């Protein structure tokens, strides 16, 4: 460092000159990267410099675009500093607090379909029929004595063991815990202690969700034996609701892709494909009927993408609905936890169990989640951008029109360069894994994140804050559009709505011929369009902030009008 200072590299003059040159010329050169390595305190190989050069050139262009956005002095960043939260609710104070279940907002749960009216059409001695049933049907059968939680658990544990060698969706099977929880559920239900709709229902946890004493690997080899000290709030709430945890399901390394340290998780409808985004194991297991439901998470597509690939229901709730405490952080301003299931109503039941503040995640807000007493498509305002509808979404749109929906063309403003705002994700993820980045022994330890972690060392603090301020504008303009309708069908808004925190839901419905296609996130995919059979279609719905119940109600409508067929992939039924 003394030598560098002697030639001016360590001085303020050099730092300013480097930043000025990059910004004013609109480019970054290999020599500039070589000279600036000391700023990030890293050493790069020639190959890493080559990749970083391309990324930084894009980053500089994004910064230039963002500087063209006019921001008023009254515009604050899309993040809130709440020091009182951390001071008022220190860990040692929690022991004196009332039970969280007593302090959470009371919500209307009458929509959870009266059990007595649930039709008994399932053959409960048929394991396949049981495996494809949903929460409402299983809850009714448990209370009618047609099945026990222990038998449900046996069925799903058996299917997980049988099919995981093909799907590679299980990281840790929590068999002993599952059997204990199932036995407890049967005993409590028999004694008249009913914890609600999820009592005795088997589920799977994405392996970013901490449940000690089991490992929480985050999909990365360096963490394969990691046991987190605290149970995640979402796992605790499901435990309190009487649900039965079958195991920890695979996550792409640090929540990116479908490749984790031991394998690639497969799509049950076409096992030549990976299952896509980081909620890989959750989507794969649910699709194959290996659990009733699972939890996933999304930062930038990790529920939506695998739910579409694996043809299941995936609900990404409004940001702030569900605590992330105890779940691996990737981006504190973008992470969301949500349910994955085969039935629309199941996503609503699970979300209802997860809602509310826990004194541990400062982002969580209390908002009602009320199922409409009567959901009628007639007069419902459905927003669409016709050019962005898939064939399946066009089919659903015609059904909505037949049932009286009002179709309203919408278009989001294109004033904010969305890609420039992803600096927040880059910087926050690099911050989370900075110690790993600086101590890892192999590039493989980073999964797909290596290039992003290196690039993030060069993001200027000003650009990060400006990107948060511009996100405020993006949130406002997006909410303004979404408030003109009740929901949006389809649309190319994945990046936008993850940056803003608006809720989206993938819905499986109807049937179509499936083909195998090349996919950029899956190098093992067959490179053609060969038919591989039939499976459900998928569509996407989006709503305004805290319009989650409308999404679930609309998804239930779509699923009833166009029942998904077949219910399970042929190889798993």
Judge contact between 514 and 532, C-beta under 8 A.
yes
3-state SS assignment for residue 202 = strand
Q: Is 206 a catalytic residue?
A: yes
Burial class (CB in 10 A: 0-12, 13-18, 19+), 99: exposed
Catalytic residue among 276, 284, 302, 429: 302
CB atoms inside a 10 Å sphere around CB 118: 17
Distance, in Å, from the CA atom of 542 to the CA atom of 383, rounded to the nearest integer, reads 9
Cβ burial 234-268 (10 Å sphere, 16+ → b, else e): bbbbbbebbbbbbbbbbbbbbbbbbbbbebbbbbb
Q: Which of 336, 328, 179, 306 is nearest to 247 (CA)?
A: 179
User: What DSSP string describes 252-287?
Assistant: -TTSSSSEETTEEPEETTEEEEE--SS-HHHHHHHH
The verdict on whether 278 is a catalytic residue reads: yes
User: Which position among 133, 149, 206, 221 bears the catalytic label?
Assistant: 206
Show the tokens assigned to 527. Answer: 């490179």
The answer to whether the CB of 62 falls within 8 A of the CB of 423 is: yes
Using CB atoms within 10 A of its CB, is residue 233 exposed (0-12), middle (13-18) or buried (19+)? buried
Cα angle, residue 44 at apex, residues 433 and 300 outer, rounded to 5°:
40
Q: Which neighbouring-strand residues pair with 266?
A: 274
Given 278, 452, 456, 504, the catalytic residue: 278
Instruction: Judge whether 117 counts as a catalytic residue.
Output: no
**Which positions ≥6 away from 69 have C-beta within 8 Å?**
415, 416, 417, 470, 473
Which residues are catalytically annotated? 206, 278, 302
């Amino acid at each position: 460092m003394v030598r560098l200072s002697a030639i001016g590299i360590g001085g303020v003059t050099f730092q300013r000159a480097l930043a000025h040159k990059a910004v004013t010329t609109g480019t970054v050169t290999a020599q500039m990267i070589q000279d600036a390595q000391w700023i990030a305190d890293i050493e790069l190989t020639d190959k890493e410099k080559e990749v970083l050069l391309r990324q930084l050139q894009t980053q500089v262009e994004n910064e230039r675009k963002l500087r063209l956005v006019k921001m008023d002095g009254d515009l604050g960043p899309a993040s809130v500093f709440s020091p009182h939260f951390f001071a008022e609710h220190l860990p040692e104070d929690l022991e004196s607090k009332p039970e969280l279940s007593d302090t959470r907002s009371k919500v209307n749960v009458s929509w959870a379909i009266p059990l007595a009216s649930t039709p008994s059409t399932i053959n409960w001695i048929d394991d396949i029929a049981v495996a494809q049933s949903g929460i409402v049907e299983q809850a009714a059968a448990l209370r009618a004595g047609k099945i026990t939680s222990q038998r449900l658990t046996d069925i799903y544990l058996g299917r997980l063991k049988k099919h995981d060698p093909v799907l590679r969706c299980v990281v840790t099977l929590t068999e002993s815990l599952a059997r204990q929880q199932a036995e407890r559920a049967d005993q409590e239900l028999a004694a008249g202690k009913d914890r609600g709709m999820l009592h005795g229902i088997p589920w799977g946890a994405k392996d970013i969700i901490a449940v000690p004493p089991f490992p929480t690997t985050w999909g990365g080899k360096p963490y394969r034996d990691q046991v987190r000290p605290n149970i995640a709030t979402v796992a605790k709430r499901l435990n309190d609701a009487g649900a039965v945890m079958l195991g920890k399901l695979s996550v792409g390394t640090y929540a990116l892709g479908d490749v984790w340290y031991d394998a690639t998780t497969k799509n049950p409808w076409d096992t030549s494909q990976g299952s896509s985004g980081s909620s890989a194991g959750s989507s794969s297991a649910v699709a194959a009927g290996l659990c009733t439901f699972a939890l996933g998470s999304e930062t930038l597509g990790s529920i939506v993408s695998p739910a579409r690939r694996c043809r299941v229901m995936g609900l990404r709730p409004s940001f702030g609905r569900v605590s992330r405490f105890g779940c691996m952080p990737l981006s504190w301003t973008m992470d969301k936890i949500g349910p994955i299931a085969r039935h629309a109503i199941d996503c609503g039941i699970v979300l209802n169990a997860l809602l509310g503040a826990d004194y541990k995640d400062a982002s969580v807000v209390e908002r009602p989640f009320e199922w409409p007493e009567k959901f009628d498509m007639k007069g419902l305002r459905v927003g669409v951008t016709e050019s962005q509808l898939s064939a399946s979404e066009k089919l659903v749109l015609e059904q909505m029109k037949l049932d009286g929906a009002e179709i309203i063309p919408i278009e989001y403003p294109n004033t904010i360069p969305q890609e420039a705002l992803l600096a927040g994700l880059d910087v926050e993820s690099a911050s989370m894994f900075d110690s790993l980045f600086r101590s890892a022994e192999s590039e493989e330890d980073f999964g797909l994140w290596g290039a992003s972690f290196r690039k993030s060392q060069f993001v200027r603090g000003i650009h990060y804050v400006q990107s948060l301020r511009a996100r405020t504008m993006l949130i406002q303009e997006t909410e303004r559009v979404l408030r003109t309708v009740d929901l949006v069908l389809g649309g190319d808004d994945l990046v936008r709505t993850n940056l803003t925190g608006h809720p989206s839901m993938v819905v499986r419905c109807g049937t179509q011929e499936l083909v195998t296609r090349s996919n950029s996130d899956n190098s093992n995919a067959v490179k053609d369009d060969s038919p591989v059979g039939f499976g459900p279609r998928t569509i996407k719905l989006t709503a305004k902030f805290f319009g989650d119940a409308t999404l679930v109600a609309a998804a239930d409508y779509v699923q009833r009008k166009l029942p998904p067929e077949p219910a399970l992939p042929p190889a798993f039924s």
